[in-house]
Amino acid sequence: MDSLLDEMVQMLGQDFQPTYILSGSGTGWYYSDLKKTMVKVQRGVECILCEEDPSGTNKYYVQVGNDVFLVPKEEVLEIGWN
- Predicted local confidence at residue 73, as pLDDT: 94
pLDDT digits (tens, 9 = 90+) for 9-68: 565 555 577 899 999 999 999 999 889 999 999 999 999 999 998 888 899 999 999 899
* Alpha carbon distance, N-terminus to C-terminus of the chain: 27
pTM of the complete model: 0.73
> Among candidates 39, 27, 19, 30, which has minimal Cα distance to 57?
30
**If you classify domain 19-80 with CATH, what class do you get?**
mainly beta
- Predicted local confidence at residue 53, as pLDDT: 86
Handedness of CA 13, 22, 52, 80 (dihedral sign): negative
Domain ranges of the chain: 19-80
